[in-house]
Amino acid sequence: MAPKLTDMSTWTGRTGKDGLRSFTDEDGNFWLEQNATKTSKWAKLASKGHDVAWEFGANRRYTGRMLVDGGILTPSEATKKFLTGGP
């Protein structure tokens, strides 16, 4: 099965000493899995079993978008949906 952006279980790329999953989409954007061992609110969400990743543009700068459980969101949208109990 070919890797698919919205399904992190298909991602085959690995980065750094932590071996975090990564994916490069058809536009050249680089997506990097959230390290669940960190202490941020997103790491805590990932440690609870959610798939969380961050998008970086072709220039490797953060784009302001993230992937959470297959959905592409802004951090504000993700906070409302996953950290404050929904809309």
What does the alpha-carbon distance between residue 2 and residue 40 come to, in Å, rounded to a whole number? Answer: 31
What does the alpha-carbon distance between residue 42 and residue 16 come to, in Å, rounded to a whole number? Answer: 19
pTM: 0.92
Q: What local confidence, expressed as pLDDT, does residue 58 receive?
A: 85
How open is the CA angle 7-50-4, to the nearest 5 degrees? 10
The two tokens of residue 66 are: 């993230």
For 15-60, write each residue's pLDDT tens digit: 988 999 999 999 999 999 999 999 999 999 999 999 999 999 989 9
Judge whether residue 77 has pLDDT over 90. Answer: yes
Question: Phi and psi for 46 in degrees, rounded to 5?
Answer: -65, -40
- The separation between CA 39 and the C-alpha centre of its own chain, rounded to angstroms, equals 16
